[in-house]
Structure 1
Amino acid sequence: MNKIKNHSRIAEFAIKRPVTITMLLLALLVVGFISYTQIPVEMMPTGFNPPFLGVYVPYRNANPKEIEQQIAKPMEEQIRTIPGISEVTTRSFSSGAWVWVEFHSGVDMDIAYDQVRDRVERARLEMPDDVDRIMIRKFGPDNSSIMNVAISIPPDIDDPYYMVEHFIKTPLERIDGVASVDIYGADEKIIQILLDDQKIKAYNINLFETIQKLRNDNFNMSSGWVMEGGKKFYLRSVNKYKSIEEIRNIPIRGTALKLKDVATIKFEPPEKVWYQRINGEDALKLEISKENMANTVEISHKVHRMLEQFQKDPRFKGMKFNILFDQGHEIEQSIDNLKSSAIWGALFAVLILYFFLRRLRMTLIVAIAIPMSVMISLIAMYFIGWTLNVITMMGLMISVGMVVDNSIVVLENIYRHQSAGMKTRKAAVFGTGEVSLAVTLATLTSIVVFVPILIMKDDVGFFRFYLQRVGLPVIFSLLASLLVALVMIPLATSKFPLKGRLREKGIILKGLNLYKKILNWSLQHRVQVSLILIAMFVSTLFIAKKVPSSDNMGGRSSRIFLIFDLPQNISLDEVNEYFREVERAIMEQRDRLDISTMDLRFRKDFARIVIYQNVLDNKSWYELLWEKLTDIFSDHPEKITNRDRLLAELKKLVPKKPGVKLRTSWRGGASSDEGTVSVVLYGDDTGKLTELAEEVERRLQLLPGVISTETSLETGNDEMQITLDRDALRRSGLSPNQVAFTLMYAVRGIDVSKFQANDREIQIRIQLEEADRKNFMQLRNLTFSNREGKNVPLGALAKFQVNKGFGEIVRTDGKTNIEVKATTTMENMRKLSADIDRVMQGFTLPYGYSWSKGKRFSRWMQQNQNFAGALLISVIFVTILMGILFESFILPLSVLISIPLSFFGAFLALYITG
């Protein structure tokens, strides 16, 4: 008896000090409500800094090999000296270079950012002089755009980019919490100096010297100071261009010849490369990003109010603002849906309790555990600095059904003692004391399952971070429910006695009788039951192998991405006409596919379509459930909302065209690997890698379910390789640098300087007229003026050869690699991995070369290892905890038998539902 009393000291204290306990519980409710009103609301948890950094160097109209040698390699060599780096990958392509830096988990990314910036500045000394921008980007949930806004521009607006940048972008960026606003679909006007090749030749102008003069003449320079009359005067040499007319009248070669005599000087947007359309109409698009830790919902509301002001402003007459994507609205909608689901879940829990308990007083006493536990969890989340988001809300929803378990056990035992005639206060103390160990053990065993998640490490940290945001709210709620069960329940039952006998009726009584019969039979046939359990466990192993293992989840996504790789032999007019057909095909099915907006952005060799689905506004859980069931069980649902089914439908709708390759994604980004598997070849010789890639591609075509295969070389342009003849250069009195740079200036063009207008800086770009750089013959006839004033054509100085260029050159940790991709309909990662091993069997590589299955498989394997490790550690912790509490080796083992048997039900359900 004394032992029981010792186990119920908490209950005894609560019953003796009812006012104190009641006030403390009320205080927790009040603080919990205040925490709920003050806790920030986000879509996803903040605070996760992925161990990745990206460095992007734009360098237009260049050869990938040239970019690799002059930009990518210098950065790679410098960045690899930073401690804590796991992998460095460089990608060199025709418009610039990306360097992807992956660090080991645990590295301080703020320090890493500073170190990368320092190394990039060192590498900049080895890069070409006309590299003017280097962007270092952090990656994470806070770095993506939170709103996309489309702006339709009337045709009478002369400079849409200037208007949007100065009168729309600037006010939006002044909003507190907005980090940046990017403009897509329009180009800034520049001063273009378009040289006439015929006039250059006629006037015998040295193109190299002329361009150098334009680069060097536009400047203001501080020149020191002098003393005059006891005063100090600072000197400043002023030579900046004051007007476009002044640029037109720049003298050439010190004669009466002016720049306007040999070139056309225009102030207009550059040659259009990218095209943007929203729902089939030309439009601009704004992508709004927020500052780290800024509140997305608040920013969204402020942007909405400012857009309403813009719409009323007479300066923007005829312009329409259409919000394509609003993460703030999605957050509010998601949180509201989760709140509604949690409330309905709690209500159902209470109804089920009443169905079994058949006592309103007992039901209400147990039901109090739900709000109390949730409020205490919110207090803990608030004080550790977490936000309320879909992940933490998921944890709270999971806990709603678990927090009543302890209270039910304690209440039922107290009621049993009261029914046996024990006095109310004594029954509360004894009833709580008898089961306190059981409920404590049950709570702690549930909690220790999450402990491995809190302490384990993975290379990226993503797995641990997000599961912590699910697990800790559950832990807080379970601990709170234990407190409620051991303190509040005995107090409530001592003040509000449970009267009457609990009599089971109808289906409950039948269920109990059936259970007794099964239990009696099991005890009398122990061998047969053991064999059945062993058979269930063994069958679990076979069923588990039949369950597909995928790295993608189904469901609904508000955005779908269609990514197109286009052939090189197609004209821009053909590309434009093709996407008109794509737009028509998709927009005709707009209602059935539940599409709100289609955002198309394309250039000659690449395109991306973003499909925005309608947001699920003001729909209750039962309406969503009905839509989900309709989508699952109907072959032709009224509206397609399931992500996988929508992707499949969009693939069918997109018109087929030779050479056009389509990829799909719901994550975004041109490099998405969804629906593809790859084999990556590593080595030093690109030519050898190309030969090996052809054999790998042939093997991957043997995979089941393969739609298409490609290598990272296939998207390369044909390139004209110009090999300079050193003897011819020497005889002509020209240097290789002079020829190469003049060729680059004339064909690719160069930004020579900036013109300072009253309200902005305007880029000055020089280049040959488009009509003078269209074909190889014009290129061969391009002339170079030597010191003697003679014009020498390029054809006399170099040899020309057309080769297949690289679309992209990739290096990983100093080794060049080629990726061979296969687009497949199969999602079972386990079978895909085995199939790749099968088709690659017998593939031999030269010394120094190797291959891997790519990042997608390595991430999938790491996830599986993390889950398996977490499961194993959880079982060990549960065993240790039960051994400590039971002071026994046998009892914990007998309980642990239920774990492998639970897998039978879990895998069977996955197998049946597919």
Structure 2
Amino acid sequence: MRLVKTSVKRPVGVIMIVLAIIALGVVSLRSLAVDLFPKIDLPIAVVATPYSDAAPEDIENLISRPIESSISSVEGVNTIQSQSQSGASLVLIMFNNGVDLDQALLDIRERVDQIKGFLPQQAGDPNIMRFNPDQMPVMWVGLTGDDAATLTNVANDQIVPYFERQGGVASVTVEGAKTREIQLVLDEAKLQQYGVNAQSIMQALSSQNRSASVGTVEKGNKDLQLRVSGTFESIDDIKQTILQTQTGATIHVEDVADVNDSYKKDTGLTLVNGEQSLVLSIMKKTDGNTVEVATNVKDGIADLSTDLPEGVELEVVIDTSEFIEMSIDSVVKNILIGGVISLFVLLLFLRSIRATIVIGASIPIAIISTFTLMYFTGETLNVLTLGGLALGLGMMVDSSIVILENIYSYRQRGYNLVDSAIKGASELAPAVIASTTTTLVVFLPIVFVQGIASDLFTPLALAVAFSLIASLVVAVTLVPMLSSKLLSKAMDNHGRRYWFNRFLEKVGNGYSGVLKWALKHRKTTVGGTILAIVLSLGLIPFIGAEFIPGADQGQMQIQVETEPGTSLDKTEKLVEQVNEKLVEYEDLIETSFVSVGGGGMGMGSANGASYTIQLIPSTERDVSTNEVVQDLTEDLQGIAGAEITVGAMDGGMSMGDPISIQLNGPEHEVLRDLAEEVVDTIATVNGVHNPSTAASEGIPQMTIEIDKEKAAMYGLTQDQILSQISLLFTGQVATQYREEGTEMDVTLMYPEEKRSTINDLQDMKIQTPTGAVIPLDEVAGFVERQGPVSLLRQNQQPQMNVSTDIADRDLASVVSDIESILEDMQFPEGYTYSMGGQAEDMAESFADLALALIFSIFLVYAVMAIQFENFLFPFIIMFSLPATVVGVMLGLFVTDLPLSIPGFIGIIMLAGIVVNNSIVLVDYINILRRRGMERFEAIVEAGKSRLRPILMTTLTTVLAMVPLGLALGEGAEMQQPLAVTIIFGLGVSTIFTLVLIPVVYSLFDDLTGKFTRRKKKEKEA
């Protein structure tokens, strides 16, 4: 090949190109974004609409249903789910894969804008956003001190603006902050005395707190803009707001209300390590580098700490970048260990330090080149892409080994260094290219894989493909050039490692004996192989399956749920009991914070609390996170008055509940009963852990039933009565007051003692249009009942979800048992169930990957058919694939790992790897037979002579993956199934290849011979 000749003849040019590639790779490496996992693009949009203090039924009817109807016709919508909860509506729109989500979001905004005018006036504006796992916080920072109000001011005025200026930071959210408001506490007696009602006060405040442009006027040669300024400049202005009484007298707001500069009522609080604090959640930009963002924030904390008020402290609570850095470090260490092992194997086989250097040079150059290609394709540096490099490490030297051995053979024939390098590399370059192509084509069917499997598979596939392409280029350019300069003599047969050569000879002789026996007992050999495959398939029930292996990130979550309607104070007391239990685990807990009440997008409630706990690194503790979870679960069950669940967090790659059973039907009430029944039923399944349902106990409600006839007698409408009740119990925002650039609500409310009990409601006075006052129970009745906590809908039909974690069993086995139980349950007519969560994602991903595997096998066959220009020999070589099943199943069984997406990806990669040994073997058998050697002797001779390169390439590939297979270091659990699959699959397949493929070759040769002889006889006849 001209490329080989040019590289040997122009070594300076090759060296300069290599140096340029190294420099570009180093620059690319510094610019690559670092993250734990690849970017997962979920085609999901969210519409969140706040509606304070509204019941779930009202939110469903007035907000969720209209929004669902308006967006249901948007193109590409797959599923619409809504959650109507007291205070807010949350609508999730899931699109089909391939949909342009940016355009879809525009369509949703247009549809929602069209119906916005029909939503309740008290409801907030719908917030439409794109759901992205990358938008999870990368850090939580705690701000502690004695005064929550001071902390709020410090956070809003000083810390948040500073953090948002840091590189890569998208936004900062403050939890547990106080919200300032101007409260106008109405005096009911004085209102009656002056004949003023709340509505007139609101009108006065709104009309007297306005500024507006009213035109222009000429003054000389200039036009002056006319502007009436009437906004409140101080709280005294609010107090002095003029009110007109019914008698025409003039009074001020302060005559009928106390004006207080205060804070909104707490709906939640946060505690960091047991102390009341504010927690700042740091969000990174979509293309931000998590590690870089965390570093910038930590540097910012150091700078801010000197300027904080006395007694106020700022500290990192949870930093997700720490686990990322530890995971990346562990993968890099595994790569280095694998590289050293590969070099040791090469040194053992080649018995030459110079030859080892020639081949070993391909490893760092291929890796550095891969960084450059990753940068230009927009990939991130994460555990999967680095894992792909580690997996490709052993395969990187395969092409170089084949080229170098052929160069040696020419050198031993008496050719000089330059001619040996050119002829040896040129002769095998096409075969090496074809062999590498069989490994690369298995990644082409990735275009048929969609969803999460594609998001995980593609970066790893690109990393492996880039490294192999780079190593191939090195093999046909740099290796011949270095061979022509560094290898002054061919490898001799003596030296201090001659013992290994003798060992290989013994292995070769033993293999020849086994091969001869197999060729004489072909039926036994084939039958034994089939039996081994069948027995290995019998291990499937013992192996099981899961979606994604969980990494021990040391993050836990504790959910505390008290009875619906429980006050915030009562929930806080239960949290204190949980804190007392956590003291026993203080040696394992690094930091923790708890959010009591509140919640994201208004979906929290006072009867709930959520802990986020960071354990010390796994290398510093003797127990896993799951073991801590189980121990804590037992210890916390003794706390009465709350339902407490403990679970491990997936950190940067949350995939939802392992199992989610979606119940669908026409009535919410029936679904709630069914959900409770399902929870009780599946709780008996082995492996089910903490089953729960969204159909929790109802919130106690007092339903006010207005008698419209009686109300009309007093000149009252239902809306007028509702507004007066709402004003009494929730208050009402009259206007906005601006002070030093900050806007705050001016809220009308009644004193706390007037709106806290049922008697206050029943004794409430309703003012009629004539000014008369009547008790509420004169025009309304009261019925106490249990209302739902939240109402779920899917595709505009009521839904209820039952979710559960799993423990001590694989996901597939638990799902199988649950489905068997559900099939035996008697569901009412019109009610159905479906499996969701990770179970659904796993089934879809496995189906897509199975399709990709089938196409990969076909492409491998097609490449080999082109290489051999024959249909039969590739077919013989493909018999090495079924034997791979034995190694894969045995490996997963021995290591006690269920089959998962990484393991399935390993099987697809094996389809392109295991055939390489068979190609080498069959190709050499044909060469010997063309030289005139008899078939039996050709097979035995080919097996014995090709045993050495087959062992060398197999051992470099397998042993380089051993560190990943052992899951050494943080975050290595993700690549472990992939490494184990390839280690055992390739190792066992190599053994079968060396014995089975020669037997299959002889069988098909006999079959071809019979067919040829029959054709010959027919032709002669």
Q: Which amino acid aligns with 1:612?
A: Q
Match of 1:122 among 111, 114, 128: 114
Distance apart, 1:276 and its partner CA: 0.7
Aligned amino acid, residue 558 of structure 2: L
Question: What is the distance in 1 between the residues matched to 2:582 and 2:514?
Answer: 58
Quick one: which amino acid aligns to residue 778 of structure 2?
A: A
Is the partner of 2:539 in helix, strand or coil? Answer: helix
Q: How far is the alpha carbon of 1:369 from its aligned partner?
A: 0.9
TM-score (norm. length: structure 2)? 0.81
1:666 to 646, 649, 652: 649
Q: Which residue of 2 aligns with 1:583?
A: 579
Alignment of 1:514-913 (within 5 A): 514-568=510-564, 570-591=566-587, 593=588, 595-603=589-597, 604-614=606-616, 627=619, 639-640=621-622, 642-658=624-640, 659-667=642-650, 673-674=656-657, 677-706=659-688, 709-822=691-804, 824-825=806-807, 827-843=809-825, 845=827, 848-913=830-895
The aligned counterpart of 1:144 is 136
Q: CA deviation at 1:837?
A: 2.6
- The separation in 2 between residues aligned to 1:912 and 1:250, in whole angstroms, is 81
> Is 1:277–2:271 an aligned residue pair?
yes
The 1:42/1:709 distance shift into structure 2, 3 A limit, reads: closer
Matched, 1:369 2:365: no
Amino acid at match of 2:157: H
Q: Which residue of 2 aligns with 1:32?
A: 25
Find the partner of 1:411 among 393, 398, 404: 404
- Tell me by how many angstroms 1:251 deviates: 4.6
Q: Deviations over 1:316-363 (max 9, x none)?
A: 222211112334555444434433332232122212221222211111
AA aligned opposite 1:467: F
Following superposition, the deviation at residue 807 of structure 1 comes to 0.9
Supply the AA of the counterpart residue of 1:112: A
Which residue among 297, 301, 325 is the counterpart of 2:295? Answer: 301
Quote the residue 2:341 is aligned against. Answer: 348
Is contact 1:357-1:502 (8 Å) kept? Answer: no
Partner of 2:42: 50
CA apart distance, 1:539: 1.5
Q: Distance in 2 between matches of 1:215 and 1:91?
A: 34
**Corresponding position of 1:239:** 230
Match of 1:471 in 2: 461
The 3 A distance-change label for structure 1 pair 423 and 521 is farther
| Structure 1 residue 379 corresponds to structure 2 residue 372 | yes
Q: 1:192 aligns with which of 166, 183, 187?
A: 183
**Among 77, 82, 87, the residue aligned to 2:79:** 87
Aligned residue in 2 for 1:631: none
Q: Alignment partner for residue 153 of structure 1, among 142, 145, 148?
A: 145
Sort the Cα spacing of 1:410 and 1:231 in 2 relative to 1 into closer, same or farther, 3 A: closer
Aligned to 1:493: 483
Which secondary structure does the structure 2 equivalent of 1:316 belong to? coil
Distance across 2 between alignment mates of 1:456 and 1:216: 63
Q: How many angstroms apart in 2 are the aligned matches of 1:270 and 1:332?
A: 41
Q: Give 1:706 deviation, angstroms.
A: 4.3
Which of 167, 174, 195 is matched with 2:165 structurally?
174
Task: Go from structure 1 to structure 2 and tell me whether the alpha carbon gap of 1:242 and 1:17 turns closer, same or farther (over 3 Å shift).
Answer: closer
Distance 1:416 1:913 in 2: 41
Deviation at 1:747, TM superposition (A): 1.1
What is the distance in 1 between the residues matched to 2:240 and 2:548? 63
Hey, what does 1:321 align to over in structure 2?
314
User: Taking structure 1 as reference, are residues 158 and 705 closer, same or farther at Cα in structure 2, changes over 3 Å only?
Assistant: closer
**Which amino acid counterpart does residue 472 of structure 1 have in structure 2?**
L
| Residue 138 (structure 1) shift | 2.2
Conserved 8 A contact 1:278-1:598: yes
The aligned residue for residue 633 of structure 1 is none
Return the alpha-carbon distance in structure 1 between the equivalents of residues 23 and 441 of structure 2: 29
Take 1:29 and 1:525, find their aligned partners in 2: how far apart are those partners? 54
Give deviations 1:471-511, integer Å, cap 9, x for gaps: 11211111121222222222322332343424552544444
The letter for the 1-side match of 2:611 is I
Judge which range, 772-781 or 666-675, deviates more. Answer: 666-675
Q: Which amino acid aligns with 1:122?
A: Q
Matching residue of 1:63: 55
Question: Amino acid of the residue matched to residue 492 of structure 1?
Answer: L
Shift of 1:898: 1.9
User: Could you tell which deviates more after superposition, 494-503 or 532-541?
Assistant: 494-503
Counterpart residue number, 1:97:
89
Amino acid at match of 2:304: F
Shift of 1:295: 3.7
The match for 2:389 among 389, 396, 406 is: 396
CA pair 351-669 structure 1, distance change in 2 beyond 3 A: closer
Distance change (3 Å), C-alpha of 1:213 and 1:859:
farther
Are the structure 2 counterparts of residues 202 and 680 from structure 1 closer, same or farther at C-alpha, using a change threshold of 3 Å? farther
1:164 maps to what in 2? Answer: 155
Instruction: Return closer, same or farther for 1:853/1:42 CA change in 2, 3 Å cut-off.
Output: closer
**What is aligned with 1:632?**
none
Looking at structure 2, the residues matched to 123 and 556 of structure 1 have their Cα atoms a distance apart, in angstroms, of: 46
Conserved 8 A contact 2:168-2:293: yes
Deviation at 1:32, TM superposition (A): 2.8
1:487 counterpart letter in structure 2: T
Q: Which 5+ residue runs of structure 1 have no aligned equivalent?
A: 1-7, 617-626, 628-637
Counterpart contact for 2:173–2:282, Cα < 8 Å: yes
1:447 is displaced (CA, Å) by 0.8
| 3-state SS of paired residue (1:505) | helix
- Are the equivalent residues in 2 in contact too, given 1:32–1:376 (CA < 8 A)? yes
Distance 1:490 1:298 in 2: 41
Per the alignment, do residues 674 and 763 of structure 1 end up closer, same or farther by CA in structure 2, a change over 3 Å counting? same
**1:251-290 equivalence runs, <5 A:** 251-254=242-245, 255=249, 258-290=252-284
**1:370-429 Cα deviation digits (max 9, x unpaired):** 012112222222333333333322222222221011111221232234335454444434
Q: Does the 8 A contact of 1:555 with 1:643 survive in 2? A: no
Shift of 1:229: 5.9
Native 8 Å contact 2:555 2:625 kept in 1: no
SS for the counterpart of 1:809 is: strand
Deviations 1:779-836 (A, max 9, x none): 1111111122211111111121122211111111211212234555464332233223
Q: How many residues align?
A: 878
Q: CA offset at residue 907 of structure 1?
A: 1.6
Alpha-carbon distance in structure 1 between the residues aligned to 2:586 and 2:297: 28
Q: 1:187–1:690: structure 2 CA closer, same or farther, 3 Å change rule?
A: same
Query: Which residue pairs with 1:110 in the alignment?
Result: 102
Matched residues, percent identical?
Answer: 27
Distance in structure 2 (CA, Å) of the matches to 1:877 and 1:154: 68
Which residue of structure 2 lines up, in the alignment, with residue 456 of structure 1?
448
